[in-house]
Each structure stands twice: as structure tokens, then as C-alpha cells.
Amino acid sequence: MGGGGWESESREQAGLPTLSRERIAASLRRTPPELSAEERALRPAAILLPIIERAEPYALFTRRTEDLSSHAGQVCFPGGRYHPDDESLIRTALREMEEEIGLPMNRVEIAGFLDSHTTVNTGFTILPVVGYVPADLELVVNPREVAEVFEAPLAFILDPENQKRKSLERDGVRREFYAIEYSGHTIWGATAAMIVNLSERLGLR
């Protein structure tokens, strides 16, 4: 897979981040983070943050169907809970990706890892796996789990100007979170938090 042409003079002149493979790789963890005692008490899960290799890199998202038991209708990355027969959480992320959008595991090049993320409401600790996928990917979407697949420019979602702080009160508890608006989609919650974490690791925040 190629990817050397991501940086451009016009992007630098516009003050937007340049996102070469080398810069992204240098920002990521080379091995999965060790879980804290609190995280080990939670249910393990993993997602894949797919970076599509185009002239300008894009991230791939899914929108969950409305009848799922958790996070129904939300925008997210492919992923799910760890199964006992998974060899690792990396395998979990790749298996879920293949089940949800039909992208074969061998079409993904693992780049590294972000910090683990916990979800308070659902009790998961999530390993974010970052991987490159080819621009000519052919998807077979599972309609039982995925209502829509869409792409967003990586530079746009990583720009702190597009990462807005919001709050929500539920059961008397006020929670703050990040939200990113793109092309009619709202990316928020754990998915937005992982994007913010990548921004931080790249030194953009």
C-alpha cells in the first residue's frame, strides 16, 4: 500500500496538520497499553480506527442500527467486545471489522495503538487499534449492525477547532464530552474521545 503523498504545500500554507504515515506512526503506542486495576475489572473490547490511504487520508466510520442493545444509532468505529476465542484484542478489532463491514483482516496494516478508553455507562475498557486500509476497499455491510458507512477527512476530525466540548445531564449527573460535526453526522462519546486522544498524541492539542 502506498501513502507517501499525504502532505501538500497547500495544506501547510492553510495551517492544517500534515499527516504522513511516519508522523502518525511516531505518535502511536507500539504495544497495547497495560490496563489499570480498575480497567481490568471492566469488560474488554476493541475498536479499529481505519485510516483510508488516499491523497489526503480519511477515517472510516459506521453508524449503528437503531435496534441494537447498546449505542443504538451512534457513530462509531468498527469494533466490539472480546470473545473467549479471540487470540488478542487486536484480533477482536479485526474480527468485528470483518463482521460489520466485510473488510478482510489481511487488508489492514496495523499502525499502533491509542490509550485505552473506559465507558462508564456500559462498563467496557476499549483498546483502540489504528490501522491503514487501502483506498480500493470493497465493503459488504452487515445490515443487522450497521445502518451506514461514511468517511471523514482525518485532518478535519483531528483539528481541535472542530472538537467541541459539550455536556449532558443524565440521572442527575452532568457529564462532559467531545463532539465533532461532519457532513450531517455527530461523532461524540467514546469515538470522539479516541479522536481527541490521537490529536493529543500528534501534538495538535
What's the CATH number where 68 sits? 3.90.79.10
Mean pLDDT of the chain: 87
More confident residue, 58 or 68: 58
3-state secondary structure of 116: coil
pLDDT band at 119 (very low <50, low <70, confident <90, very high): confident
**What is the predicted pLDDT for the residue at 161?**
96
Query: What is the mean predicted confidence (pLDDT) over 33-43?
Result: 85
98 within domain boundaries: yes
Residues 6+ apart with CB under 8 A from 80: 45, 46, 47, 92, 96, 99, 100
Least confident range of 3-7, 38-42, 153-157, 181-185: 3-7
CB 56 within 8 A of CB 137: no
Q: What is the largest CA-CA distance in the chain?
A: 50
5 within domain boundaries: no
2 within domain boundaries: no
Segment 144-153, tens digit of pLDDT: 989 999 999 9
Q: Count the domains in the chain.
A: 1
195 within domain boundaries: yes
35 within domain boundaries: no
Cα–Cα dist 163/176, whole Å: 13
Per the structure, the complete domain to which residue 139 belongs is given by 16-29+41-201
Q: Taking 90 as the threshold, does the pLDDT of residue 98 lie above it?
A: yes
In the chain, how many H helices and how many E strands?
6, 11
4 within domain boundaries: no
Give the rounded percent of residues in the chain with a pLDDT score beyond 90.
69
CB 177 within 8 A of CB 192: yes
**What is the predicted pLDDT for the residue at 68?**
52
More confident residue, 7 or 152: 152
119 within domain boundaries: yes
Residue 109 pairs in a beta bridge with 132
